[in-house]
Structure formats: C-alpha cells, structure tokens
Amino acid sequence: MARSSVDPQFHTIIEPFRIKSVEPIRFTTAAERERALEAAGYNPFNLHADDVLIDLLTDSGTGAMSSEQWAAMMRGDESYAGSRSFDRFEAAVKGITGLKHIFPTHQGRAAERILCGAALEPKDIVPSNTHFDTTRANIEAVGAVAVDLPLPEARHPEVLHPFKGNMDVDALRLLLEEDRDRVPFVMLTVTNNSGGGQPVSMENVRAVSALCRRFGVPLMLDCCRYAENAYFIKLREPGYQDKSPREIAQEMFGYVDGATMSAKKDGMANIGGFLALNDDELAQRARNLLILGEGFPTYGGLAGYDLDALAVGFGEALEEPYLRYRLRSIEYLGERLLAADIPIIQPTGGHAVYLDAGKLLSHIPASQYPAWALSCVLYLVGGVRSVEIGSVMFGRQPDGSEKAAPLELVRLAFPRRTYTQSHVDYLAEVLLHVGAMRDRVRGVRIVEAPPVLRHFSARFEPVDGALIG
Ligand code: F0G
C-alpha cells in the first residue's frame, strides 16, 4: 500500500497533523484493572472510560475534530429555520453526493428509521451486502425482512480479496427475479462494517446499480465510511489511481438514488447524520417523519454548530494524507499481528482490525464465548477496550435458544485522528503478549442477561474462577 510519509524513501508512519489540545489518558495497575473488570461483571461496556487506557470500542463519534472544525462551530447559526449552518451543511453534502433532498439527522439510525418508515411495508424485503445491526433492526421494526447477500469469500477470515465487502450480484438478481414486488429498495453498506470494514468496488456499485435500474428498484448507500471506501478504490481498483477520493466518492454516489449516513464516522464529528434522497415523493414522506421525530428540516436534531462542524468534516475525511495514514496504521497493526501468527480478518479493513478469536483460542468452545474472553483479557493485560462480535452478540435466537455465531471476532476500531503511532505500537505489544499466552486464556459464562441486545448489559464470570489460568 501507499506509504504514509512525505517521501517514498521513508517508511515511518506519521500522523498528518500536530496536536493542539490534549486529553490525558489514565494508567492503571493490573490489580486496579482486575477490580474494575470484576465490578463491571466482566463486561467491557460497563467499564468507566477513566479506567480504559486505549479505547477501541468504536470509531463512531469518538474522533478528534480539527481546528478548522472548531473554528467553524463558532460560526454556527442557531436559527430554528433556514439557518446559514444548514446551507453550508447542505452544500457540502450535495457537493459530494449530488443527491437532491438532504435531511440532517442526529445520527445514522435516525436516517434509517425515517427511510424505513417512509418506504417500507410489512413483509417487504431489503437486500444488502450486509446490513449493520441498527439498519436491520429498523427494517425489522416495521415488519419487513433484512437480507444479507455478501460474497462467499466474506465468510472466510483468511481468504484475501481486494473488495471483500462486495454484494453477491447473482444472488441479488435471483432475489429480484423472484420477489421484485416486495423490494422497495436495495442497500449497499460502504465499507461493509459487519463484514470486517471491507470495501465495495466501483465495479460492484455499478453492477448492483444497473441491476436495480433494470428492475426499477431504487438503490441506497449506507455511506458511513464512504471516504475510506473511496480510498480503497483508488488503491486497489484499476483505472482509479489518478482520481481523487472526492472524484471517486462523487462517481459512487452517482450510481445511487439515496443514502443514509452516520456522520459520526466519515463526517469527522462527534454527532450527526443525514438522509439524502432523489425521489420527490419519498422525500416528502421522509420530511414529515423528520419533523415528527427529529426536528425542523433545516436542523434535524442537530445544533447549528454541529452542522458547521460536519460541513468541514466531510471535506477533511476525503483528504489523501489523512486517508493514507488512517488505512496504513490499521494495515500496519494487521501486519504485526500476522507476523506473530495472530489470526485476523484479512485484508485489514478501513476502520478496524478484527481478531479471529475462534481460531486464536480454539481450545475455548463457542459456549464459553472465546471472543468475549479475549476482549476481557485485552483489558486486563493492557487496559485496551475492544468489542466482541461473536456468540454473545449474535448467539441468542428469537425462541430463546443458543446457537454459535458463524465467527468469534474481537473488533479493535480506531477513533479518527485520536491515537498516535506509538499507541499503535503499544497495542501491537499488548496483542503479541496475549497471543503468546493464548493457551492460558479461559472462557466465561453468562450470569445474567436481558432477552435482547444482551451484550450491552449482560454480566459474566470466568468458568474456571479466573480469565487467565
Ligand atoms: N451503518 C453502519 C455501517 C454503522 O457502522 C453504524 C454505526 C450505523 C449505520 C448506525 O449509525 O450509530 O450513528 O446511529 N456503527 C457504530 C459502530 C455504532 O460501532 O460500528 P449511528
């Protein structure tokens, strides 16, 4: 991949920014972490942020804003209707997406809820490469069916594919041939978060779009990480090397009829989102729902200053030095892990490294939640907070029974512009240390859990009395 430094002869990854404002992080002792984890019921979601040294729980809303964004916030116009902040926000989103109606929302799932409320009927089907959890939940909340159609390669962590986030176009064709009347729209998630932060190729966007047009079905992008996806296209897809990430993003949006966005990712801000639509009639229904739940259409649940931070952030997310450094530091951590035989989803994605805990801790059965145990051990050993994407998150079935998730993963998601290369080196050190003691890691059992979304609040205990034997 492209180097992340000034001159190709230098290989050191350097951040393309310097630091103007700092936030201390707190060092804890192993004994303190042990007590904190026990008090948290062995659930990293229950930890106090103060007890975490490096927080990789999510890349959503956790990034650092630039001095230009902070300056823009001071220009925020808090008028209830028709604010100048909205004009700047709308111009920024239209400049990238070219879409006609732009509705700000407080975050991504609000845009999803409005789209689903405006476009879906019970029993409808919404295909995607892979729906993110909140998108799936919003589709199911109106009685419709969310269908994932990823590539077969996406199910195998170690299989290399430059665009492992692609949708299976043949599977989509079959679904549309059979059930076109039940499909109000198709979605594409860029990058494919649930599949490992893997990108979707322009060729795939074009093919899915052509198929949707043939069947007269609108195509929507879940574009949270559109800038990272655009940069992967530049690096990996023939014909895009000399195009800018902005030009690539513009082409990608040119193939779709609408988009939902969590601007807490590639909007480079701590809160925000939008719904963008071309269709006037659908937009009218969405506008009504927006007013009902979020606010007047020129602020949609956000302050004027949030809109201004986003208007600047959308552009910053597309800057090449930033994207090069971001993707390269994640790739670098992946390389360090692979060199030490620590299994991960390959290739590394745009916003996170996904550890294959099922393989690393193959001595722990799925019923003892190996990925959950690994996530706890990363905290105990290094003060690192990560998130399990495995049988705790997905194992409980609607009828109350348990079924192992297809993969036991731990996601290390990188907040944007927040940690430095020395933090990444520290992470590598912690992970290598845990890799070397993998045989000593023990599983966990659930002590108490709510019936739905149990990972957020369940309490656990180690099956053998301690996590590390
Ligand atoms: N779509 C994708 C692909 C996402 O990754 C997320 C959020 C959303 C939609 C929902 O956006 O949180 O602003 O309402 N992902 C976060 C994560 C929570 O940690 O991956 P939201």
pLDDT 10s digits, 236-261:
999 999 999 999 999 999 999 999 99
Same domain, 51 and 76: no
Q: In percent, how much of the chain has pLDDT > 70?
A: 99
Cα 382 from Cα 28, distance rounded (Å):
9
Q: Which residues contact 469 (CB under 8 A, 6 or more apart)?
A: 440, 441, 442
Residues 173-218: tens digit of each pLDDT: 999 999 999 999 999 999 998 878 999 999 999 999 999 999 999 9
Q: Which atom of ligand 1 is nearest to the CA of 222?
A: 1
| 224 shares a domain with 105 | yes
Among 133, 134, 388, residue to substitute to test ligand 1 (most atoms within 8 Å of Cβ):
134
Report the atom number in ligand 1 closest to the C-alpha of 57.
19
* Per-residue model confidence (pLDDT) at position 453: 83
Measured CA distances, 174 to 130, 168, 177, 258 (Å): 17, 10, 5, 23
Torsion angle of the four alpha carbons 309, 314, 318, 323, in this order, in degrees rounded to the nearest 10: 60
Ligand 1 pocket list (CB less than 6 A): 58, 60, 107-109, 132, 134-135, 189, 193, 222, 224, 262, 264, 273
352 plus 207 within the same structural domain? no
Q: How far is the CA of 431 from the centre of ligand 1 (A)?
A: 26
Q: Write out the residue range of the structural domain in which residue 99 sits.
A: 67-316
Residue 302 lies in a domain: yes
Structural contact between residues 209 and 257, judged by C-beta atoms closer than 8 angstroms: no
Task: Based on the fold, state whether residues 231 and 135 are members of the same structural domain.
Answer: yes
Within a domain: 42 = yes
Average pLDDT over residues 137-147: 94
pLDDT for the residue numbered 209: 98
Report yes or no: 139 and 184 within 8 Å, Cβ to Cβ: no
Instruction: Specify whether 140 is located in the same domain as 255.
Output: yes
> Is the residue at 12 inside a domain?
no
**Cα–Cα distance measured from residue 382 to residue 380, given in angstroms and rounded to the nearest whole number:** 6
Whole-number Å distance between alpha carbons of 282 and 97: 18
- The helix or strand, by DSSP H or E, that contains position 221, with its residue range, turns out to be strand 219-222
Same domain, 309 and 378: no
Q: Give me the DSSP letters along 413-450.
A: E--TTTS-HHHHHHHHHHHHHHHHTGGGB--EEEEE--
Q: Which of 282, 316, 350 is the last residue of a domain?
A: 316
Q: Which atom of ligand 1 is nearest to the CA of 61?
A: 13
Boundary-marking domain end, from 316, 338, 362? 316
The structural domain count of the chain equals: 2
What is the 60 CA–ligand 1 centroid distance (Å)? 7
Q: Residue range 365-379: average pLDDT?
A: 97
Determine the distance separating the centroid of ligand 1 and the alpha carbon of 21, expressed in angstroms.
Answer: 27
- pLDDT of residue 1 exceeding 60, the answer is no
State the pLDDT confidence band at 6, using cuts at 50, 70 and 90: low
- The residues with which 462 forms a beta bridge, in sequence order, are 444
Rounded mean pLDDT of the chain?
96
Structure tokens that stand for 282 in this block: 């659908």
Residues 429 and 296 in one domain: no
Q: What is the pLDDT of residues 316-334, one digit of tens each?
A: 999 999 999 999 999 999 9
- Residue 11 clears pLDDT 90, i.e. is over it: no
> 162 and 128 in one domain?
yes
* Domain identity same for 202 and 351: no
Q: Is the pLDDT of residue 19 over 60?
A: yes
Nearest CA to 344 among 435, 263, 283, 415?
A: 435
Look at residue 299 in the predicted model and tell me its pLDDT: 97
The whole-number pLDDT of residue 195 equals 78
pLDDT level of residue 5 (50, 70, 90 thresholds): low
Domain with 179 in it: what CATH number?
Answer: 3.40.640.10
Residue 118 scores a pLDDT above 60: yes
Question: Per-residue pLDDT for 7 more than 80?
Answer: no
Residues 259 and 365 in one domain: no
Contact (Cβ atoms closer than 8 angstroms) between residue 298 and residue 291:
no
Q: What is the pLDDT of residue 3?
A: 55
**Same structural domain for residues 213 and 284?**
yes
Confidence of residue 398 (pLDDT cuts 50, 70, 90): confident
pLDDT at 2 over 60: no
Q: What is the mean pLDDT of residues 52-61?
A: 98
Q: Is the separation of the CB atoms in 204 and 169 below 8 Å? A: yes
Domain boundary among 316, 339, 365: 316
Q: DSSP 3-state assignment of 75?
A: coil
